Structure 1
Amino acid sequence: MAEYQFTTTWRVEASVQEVWDVLSHPDHWPEWWASLERIVEIEKGDIQGIGALHRYTWKGALPYRLTFDIHVLNITPFYLLEGEASGEVEGRGVWSFSGNGMETIVRYDWNIRTNTRWMNYLAPLAAPVFRWNHLTVMRDGAKGLARKLGKNVEMYCVDNG
């Protein structure tokens, strides 16, 4: 399996409340995040959403789609969303939020392994292209969030792998 570690930071000119209200409802992400084609709820989870299971289908700039499930492990309102991925990718994703008045820093850590045979086979040569595709998906998310909120969003991305 090929492993990838990404850290994306969005600096959003909006309060933590405004940003949380959008990002804490992933079932609505396809409305503003064009790279996210579909989310299907498989399990509801508790009243807070912990234990929920959703199937995500993503399409970046490259001519392939990735479908995987996210099981919600932790939700700390206005501070943290954490999930475990399984399917075509497996690993962990953590959204963390910190605010200072009318500015919010959103950090997304995505540490995964690919389970798709063709991706693993091509990884020694194509990994830089897969990383670029992830960057385009996250840039698309930042643009969509900016439109949704009507606020400025700047993005910084680090490829840790």
Structure 2
Amino acid sequence: MARAYEFADTWEVAASVDEVAGVLTDLEHYPRWWPQVRAVAKLGPDTAWVRCRSTLPYTLDLVLDAVSREAPVVEVALSGDLEGFARFTLTAEDDGTRLDFAQEVTVRGRLALASYVLRPVLEWNHRRMMTGCRTGLTEWLSQRRRAASPRTSSRT
């Protein structure tokens, strides 16, 4: 038994496409800025094991394989508790970068069974996960930008 899910979202951040792509392709450091990403272990140059947990008391075990690590498309193939892909398409905007997120996955086993009754709750849980991504990424990029900018001293 399998159940399919499709997700899409769009938001903007005040950073260049290259800055955003750099953070999104640095999987090992996701737990620093994305609260729902609990652990990451590098399995190879383009492969990582990731544990995610959003609001519900259920942790996803995933393996992410890089499909594209170059802007404008940052994409991974997902396997484990979810099978499919997650993709960010990055577009330069006047004030930064627009991120168009797309994810298509299939779930099996207990998660698929639960989705017959709990699909709205699972979709809500995913929205909470992506809110963590958007907020964390925006704050992380802002902190990096402040740290990289030359400090000006004020004189009285």
Partner of 2:141: 149
Provide the TM-score with structure 2 as the length reference.
0.85
Partner of 1:73: 67
Question: More relative contact order in 1 or in 2 (CA 8 Å, sep 6+)?
Answer: 1
- Which deviations, in whole Å up to 9, do the C-alpha atoms of 1:44-74 show, x marking residues without a partner? 1xxxxxxx11111001000110011111122
Which of 60-69 and 7-16 deviates more?
Answer: 7-16
Share of identical aligned residues, percent?
25
- 3-state SS in 2 of match to 1:119: helix
Which runs of no fewer than 5 residues in structure 2 stay unpaired? 144-156
Partner of 2:127: 135
Partner of 2:31: 30
CA distance in 2, matches of 1:135, 1:124: 18
Structure whose alpha-carbon radius of gyration is higher = 2
Higher helix proportion, which one?
2
For the aligned residue pairs, the C-alpha RMSD in angstroms reads 1.4
CA distance in 2, matches of 1:91, 1:72: 12
Match of 1:60 among 29, 54, 60: 54
Match of 1:121 among 113, 116, 139: 113
Q: How many equivalent pairs are there? A: 142
Seen in structure 2, the aligned counterparts of structure 1 residues 20 and 75 have a Cα distance that, compared at 3 Å, is closer
Provide the TM-score with structure 1 as the length reference.
0.82
Partner of 2:152: none
